[in-house]
Amino acid sequence: MSTTSVGSPLRGQDAMHPDGQYSALAKVFHWVTVPLMGLALASGLVIRFIKDDPKMAFYALHESIGLLILGLAVARLAWRGISRPPALPDHLPASMRAAAAGVHHALYAALILQPLLGFFTTNAYGFPLQGATAFLGFIDLPKFMEPWGALATVLHWAHSIIGWLFLPLLAAHIGGAIFHHAIRKDGTLMRML
């Protein structure tokens, strides 16, 4: 275990976290986002198969979860500006550093763009988050535009494409964590635990 000149452990570094660790709040942001992502992806995939009556409730749930994810992602980025994450360990090859940075940047971009696209898509379709589809079921959000079918179609396609892109991004992120823990047996996964 590395120590400072006065003998105290380096910030975030201990026997369980040889490569340092994220702050407690960063871990909360990460692990609260995980189940919300699962719910958002699952509800987004099944909405098209829901019959007319409960369909709007699924949209309200899906959009509310998306906006919660957006809020968490923005808060998480703000927190990263205040509390820098631990540096990537020196033992990682440059290719792994580049892959990790690419996947993380793409995930952050998608976590912000996806809910915004969904929000503007439903507005363009003429279904703002108001009334029966209010945010969290009771918070009416402003209507940003009148129904605009052509724009709604473009936004819907963009929202769908990013939704599908989440699957390989998440597979790369989770696969990378498992690879580091099970094959390389380094402390990378432990940084978030």
Over residues 1-27, mean pLDDT: 66
CA-to-CA dists, residue 99 to 25, 41, 53, angstroms:
25, 24, 44
Using pLDDT thresholds of 50, 70 and 90, give the confidence band for residue 98: very high
Identify the structural domains of the chain with CATH numbers, from first to last. Answer: 24-192 (1.20.950)
Residue-level pLDDT at 185: 85
* Highest-pLDDT range among 17-21, 24-28, 53-57, 129-133: 24-28
Rounded distance, CA 52 to CA 155, Å?
22
pTM: 0.87
